[in-house]
Amino acid sequence: MGQALDIVNTFMQSQDTSFLADDFRFIGPVYQTTGIEAFMKLNESFFLLVTGMRMLTQFEKRNEFGCR
């Protein structure tokens, strides 16, 4: 696993915002945010509902799964 994937996995397990860049942007199918504070606010209620996580697929090469 590469360094980027390790960082993502660590953040997903801890929600430690020190892993996020100051200019962090989230682009999802429904919501988009810019900045750490906006992202954490968006997910505040969601994080409370998560009781576990099982990763089904991960990728880190830009050309996998048709990503550009």
pLDDT digit string (tens) for the chain, length 68 residues: 567 778 888 888 888 999 888 888 988 888 899 999 998 898 888 777 877 777 777 766 665 445 54
The beta-strand segments (E) located in 1-68 are 25-27, 32-34
List, in sequence order, every residue forming a beta bridge with 34; answer none if it has no partner: 25
Q: Is the entire prediction scored with pTM above 0.75?
A: no
The phi, psi pair for 56, rounded to 5°, reads: -95, -45
The beta-strand segments (E) located in 3-62 are 25-27, 32-34
